[in-house]
Amino acid sequence: MLFPMQSVVDALQARSGMSFAVMVPDGGYYRAGPGEPVFTLIFRTDAALLQAFTRGHMGLLESYFDQSVDVEGDLGAALAAGLLSGLDSRGKALLNVENGIHELRFSNHSAAQAKTNARAHYGLGAEFYRLWLDDPLMMYTCAYWPEGTQTLEEAQARKIDHVCRKIRLAPGDHFVDVGCGFGGFLFRAQQTVGATGTGLNTTSEQVDWVRREITRRCLGDKLSVREADFRAADVPYDKVVSIGVLEHAGRDQLGEVVQAHANLLKPGGLGMLHFIGHVGPRETDLFIRKHVFPGGWIPGLSEVIVEMERCGLEVLDIENLRRHYALTLDEWALRFEQQWAAIQALDPQRFDERFHRVWRAYLVGCAEMFRSPVGYTHLFQIVFSKGNVTRTSYPMSRAHLYDT
């Protein structure tokens, strides 16, 4: 053993506070912490061990994807321990270079590359997402879990209703849903409020599915969807909803995407930005960009507000739903695992064991990230207006959000 393994394990345990064990290729077994290990890391090759020491969490994760590392026990606890122990700081200089190169290669500067990036993740097919998202809305964004909420289905419906109240959506309003996904917001907002909606989406597979659903539900006079980039603004709308779009704009496109949202809104209109954001400007983790969301970039809340001010938007309210996202991801991870056999049966070549491990790490790891006491990644909802509101155009309190 070339590494002082026991001292490394002890140091990691002291920072994470979790009892765990490590097994290395030569048969060595190292434990740290009291009681039974919550999880055990099993290194199958010396190369995997070297990757962990030189590239930190990225080396460990990519060895897990390649099956040269296994995790016995609680995967969530293992990923949480990595966050708490500062494993992501090891090999940071090397990873920063790799991260920068990746950002240049997958920039969303062109609409064509933005479309390719979106389809890499969201174009996996409705059949795939239907197996583990809520039924029937298929919302693939943070749900809303106020006290008493029991199911994912309930939480996603409550999220949509919460947003509708925030933007004062009313019958007769024509709203636009930027990045509309599978149309869950469009369908529920039309059903519950009676507003007319248009969805914008750059992922062909999702657009085709939403169009078929609009036709099947005979809602062609109420709802529509356009296969278009956010930059393809057409006419201004009474209300703008943007749920999970800013994270995909990219660093060099943040100002442009915020300006596009402003352009889509009529003077005096209301809108909402729902996005994953950092507390303070920070780099986006390489894992999420390289293996899950090519072209993705998580902005700082302050960076978004600066761009909103530049576009003449008044910030009316900011709500942090970080804890709600942890609960949402817990449910997605559970359902994904329960449905893995059915997912794999859809396309065994595409949905192979590597895909399984990447997505497990993504869903479980993000749940732990949003739950972590040392985390700096949050989920924000910003309500804004185009121009300053008056006493008559917007309530003087938040009572309208909860008087249901």
As annotated, the active-site residues are: 366
DSSP 3-state of 219: coil
Q: How far is residue 120's CA from residue 295's CA, in Å, rounded to a whole number?
A: 10
Strand partners, 276: 379
Closest CA to 141 of 174, 115, 179: 179
Alpha helices in 194-298 (DSSP H): 204-216, 254-263, 286-291
323 neighbors 138 (Cβ within 8 angstroms) = no
CB atoms within 10 A of CB 251: 16
272 neighbors 167 (Cβ within 8 angstroms) = yes
Strand partners, 227: 201
Closest CA to 188 of 223, 215, 238, 236: 223
And the tokens for 221? 């006079």
Q: How far is residue 232's CA from residue 225's CA, in Å, rounded to a whole number?
A: 13
User: In b/e form, how buried is each residue of 364-374, taking b as 16+ CB within 10 angstroms?
Assistant: bbbbbbbbbee
Cα–Cα distance list, 64 to 32, 69, 236, 399 (Å): 21, 4, 48, 48
265 neighbors 331 (Cβ within 8 angstroms) = no
Closest CA to 248 of 283, 216, 276, 269: 276
Q: How far is residue 165's CA from residue 168's CA, in Å, rounded to a whole number?
A: 5
